[in-house]
Amino acid sequence: MNKQKRQEIFARLRDDNPNPKTELNYSNPFELLVAVTLSAQSTDVGVNKATDKLFPVANTPEAIVELGVDGLKSYIKTLGLYNAKAENVYKACQILVEKHNSEVPDTREALEALPGVGRKTANVVLNTAFRQPTMAVDTHIFRVSNRTKIAPGKNVLEVEKKLLKFVPKEFLLDAHHWLILLGRYICTARKPRCGACLIEDLCEFKDKTS
Ligand code: SF4
């Protein structure tokens, strides 16, 4: 895909949705970190239902440490992998209290040192809470980047690096939100809705649906 096409694709996505946001509910970096950590193999809607009850009771590292692992489980037991998630969030909160003055760190290294926080979660927090130009490549972004040929790659890291290289600078901060939304609602896994797609004429997918 050439530079002009990428420019036009992101210009259209921006014009359609100038201020894209994550669909996870949060009101500060700590809530975002917890919500993203809970979202592995769960839907944003499911995570929001759990955190809508959890955050009014505990939305600081200290409060979650106070709640304890079992207390935390009682709020998130509707989510897949909730046992492991509760352990990870609890231990991450202990580290935030002990090493980071109860603040969410703004570096990849410190974030990835927290239990349950991988590269994708760190990228979401760095981008969404701290407005750093990172690409949190999830299954939707991976699919859309490959189908369209915006940033084709064999694995998520390859796609992440290509997106950082090829997405025009002016769109870098919000590109991952636009691509997630495109993948979630239009360029869906089983059958992309090409007829309803804003970028159909620019996309280079060979098997477009009518
Ligand atoms: S045209 Fe089809 S394949 Fe291309 S991005 Fe849109 S929905 Fe996906």
| 72 Cβ below 6 A of ligand 1 | no
Token pair in block for residue 168: 């025009």
Q: Where residue 210 falls among pLDDT bands split at 50, 70, 90?
A: confident
List, by residue number, the catalytic residues. Answer: 120, 138
93 and 138 belong to one structural domain: no
Q: How many domains does the chain have?
A: 2
Q: Is residue 207 part of a domain?
A: no
Query: Is 187 labelled a binding residue?
Result: yes
Mean pLDDT of 176-189: 94
144 and 119 belong to one structural domain: no
Say what the pTM is.
0.88
Q: Where are the alpha helices (DSSP H) in the chain?
A: 3-16, 29-38, 44-57, 61-76, 82-99, 108-112, 119-128, 139-148, 156-166, 175-185
Q: Of 112, 128, 144, which residue constitutes the final position of a domain? A: 128
Structural domain boundaries, residue 39: 29-128
Q: Where residue 142 falls among pLDDT bands split at 50, 70, 90?
A: very high
56 and 37 belong to one structural domain: yes
CATH number at residue 85: 1.10.340.30
pLDDT tens, residue by residue, 33-83: 999 999 988 999 999 999 999 999 999 999 999 999 999 999 999 999 999
